[in-house]
Amino acid sequence: MIRLFAALTIPQDLGLALARRQTGVEGARWRPLDALHVTLRFFGEIREDVARDLDAELSAVRGRPFEIALSGVGAFGDGPDIHAIWAGVAESEPLRRLARACETAARRAGLKADSRHYRPHVTLAYLRHPDPAEVAAWIQANNLLKSPAIPVRSFGLYSSFLGSEQAHYRLEAEYPLT
């Protein structure tokens, strides 16, 4: 079994700018630079043969290069159940099309449909029982986040290995947009 997801990488200079914002919430597990990405579709734990089929389906995804931009910040969860802080991605129809194409590839490879609403973002930190006021203050201090345009020329298939403190990611395949 292998744990997989499709994602866009964040350029290093933008990652460094995001890293400067990773402070001010006690107990936050801030994501390292190499873990910052925009998930297109989380596939979960799948068998190796299904992973090969998924790779073949993702290889067939077609699309033109496009740009995205980060815009705003937020959190998932409410009150003491807040569990993540994120940077948002500005609305992008080409990004949504690419995410739908990854969903279609997953279904063609035999995976179940993802029933969650797609909300593109970059997870900056995972939280356990944070002080909601501290999270609100962080959001208020960072809510005007805007990035320059980020060129998207490809997307990747990543494996995820869960460690004791954080997940580690490895690029398994890259798919160009031409």
Active site residue ranges: 37, 121
Query: What does residue 69 show for φ and ψ, rounded to 5 degrees?
Result: -145, 145
Whole-number mean pLDDT of the chain? 96
The Cα 28–Cα 83 span in angstroms is 9
pLDDT-derived band at 95 (thresholds 50, 70, 90) equals very high
Which whole-number Å values give the CA distances from 79 to 75, 101, 102, 134, 143, in the listed order? 10, 35, 33, 11, 18
pLDDT-derived band at 162 (thresholds 50, 70, 90) equals confident
Supply the CATH classification number for the domain 2-176.
Answer: 3.90.1140.10
Residues 6+ positions from 12 with CB-CB distance below 8 Å: 33
Angle formed at CA 2 by CA 163 and CA 27, multiple of 5 degrees: 25
**pLDDT at residue number 138:** 98
pLDDT-derived band at 176 (thresholds 50, 70, 90) equals very high
Q: 2 pLDDT exceeds 80?
A: yes
Q: 40 pLDDT exceeds 90?
A: yes
The Cα 72–Cα 50 span in angstroms is 36
Q: 166 pLDDT exceeds 90?
A: no
Q: 164 pLDDT exceeds 90?
A: no
Handedness of CA 29, 35, 40, 42 (dihedral sign): negative
pLDDT-derived band at 73 (thresholds 50, 70, 90) equals very high
